[in-house]
Amino acid sequence: MINVGVHNLQFFCKNDIHKYQSEKFSRYLKEDCPRRLYKPRQNNELRTTMHWGQRKLLMTEIEFLTQYSKLGDLVLYVGAAPAIHTPILSKLFPTIKFILIDPMKFNIRETENIEIRREYFTNDMAKEFIGKDFLFICDIRISNDQKKNYKPSENEVKNDMLVQQKWVEIMKPRYSILKFRLPWEDKEFLYFDGKIVIQPWGPQSSTETRLIVKSPFKKKKWNCRMYEEQMFYFNTFTRCQYYEHDIVTTGIDNCYDCATEIFIIRNYLKKFNPDKNNKKYVMKLIHSFSKSITQGKGCLSGYYYYKYLNGRHHNCLNKRYNLINLLQDLNRKGLKNNKKNFNKYFDKITQLLSNKKDKEELPYISDVN
């Protein structure tokens, strides 16, 4: 039986139910990945994938350090604030020394293995790392970094990309993982060649990924339109497909993000703690990450659970109670893959979120023979 989880629900709004189960899982965006012509997503469009920023960073960085770090490594992390997830990284990789640099406020304290420098990173500062053997993590947004929820212009996106490229050229880290998003207005963009890593738990319509660059580095011309259309396909199709795995626990279903988190954790355990590479310990880590990132308040019971956790909406407590029960029940039991069961839960979730009472106003998936 193929189940339908909370994060999978949006798949059935505009996609063929017969393509729900994915036959391919990949962590990289490659040139042969499918494309879909970009169309702005409507505000009332059901989006059930989950955005959790600190978890997104944690997972991509665990994966990066699992693949490329070595004992006693130095990691330079620029744009690290608030660094809520960094103590988890330090615990998982206890021999690594982290240098965190950001002018913004940090929510953590320094430790023996975590050094904090609250300042802007500059080209002159980059010269301090010339000749050193280290890994570079970059999550900068120089443009208007004081404004919360600010959406940068295309020129600002391009500028941030070029700034971090300049730092890599100066320092020549062994490996770098850079924030990556091509400017929409350009046909082509000359930039580092490398592996594009897809981020789990990213914003629901984001085209941001991570680029892994190896020294000595090369450059290539990236096709901006192709990248945009590939990411639109990922967000509206690939991300909410069904991926087989063996972990059954509250908050985890078979969407791409959940499958990716399990994949990353298993690879980490396989390399660093093989004796604990089992289902029970994987589940323990998943829930411990949630508690650490949210100080015990959050979990992976679905995007709307997290959204309403500390919400200040009218009747928020009642909504939250009903959503938590509904989403946890759905994740715990799963659904048989048919139109009747899907519509049952689709109706309930949509009514709760929109306060609609008339079932006839709610959209349905097309009939499936």
Residue ranges and CATH numbers for the domains of the chain are: 6-25+242-361 (no CATH), 53-238 (3.40.50.150)
- What DSSP string runs through 88-145? HHHHHSTT-EEEEE-SSPPSS---SSEEEE-S---HHHHGGGTT---EEEE----TTT
With CA atoms as reference, report the closest residue to 252 among 330, 194, 181: 330
**Positions of E strands within the chain:** 74-78, 97-101, 114-117, 135-138, 175-180, 188-192, 195-197, 209-214, 219-223
pTM of the model: 0.85
Q: Which amino acid is at 299?
A: C
Average per-residue pLDDT in the chain? Answer: 85
Quickly count: other Cβ atoms within 10 Å of residue 133's Cβ.
12
pLDDT digits 0-9 by tens, 161-215 = 999 999 999 999 999 999 999 998 889 999 999 999 999 999 999 999 999 999 9
Sign of CA dihedral 214, 218, 220, 224: positive
Q: How far apart are CA 294 and CA 308, in angstroms?
A: 14
Quickly count: other Cβ atoms within 10 Å of residue 118's Cβ.
12
pLDDT of residue 368: 30
Our CA dihedral for 3, 8, 12, 14, rounded to 10 degrees, sits at: -160
Over residues 96-120, the mean pLDDT reads 98
Q: pLDDT exceeding 70 applies to what percent of the chain?
A: 76
Q: How far apart are CA 151 and CA 141, in angstroms?
A: 10
pLDDT of residue 359: 39
Q: Which amino acid is at 156?
A: E
Which band of pLDDT confidence, cut at 50, 70 and 90, is reported for residue 366?
Answer: very low
pLDDT of residue 6: 74
The CA–CA distances, whole Å, from 189 to 35, 90, 159, 162 equal 19, 35, 12, 11
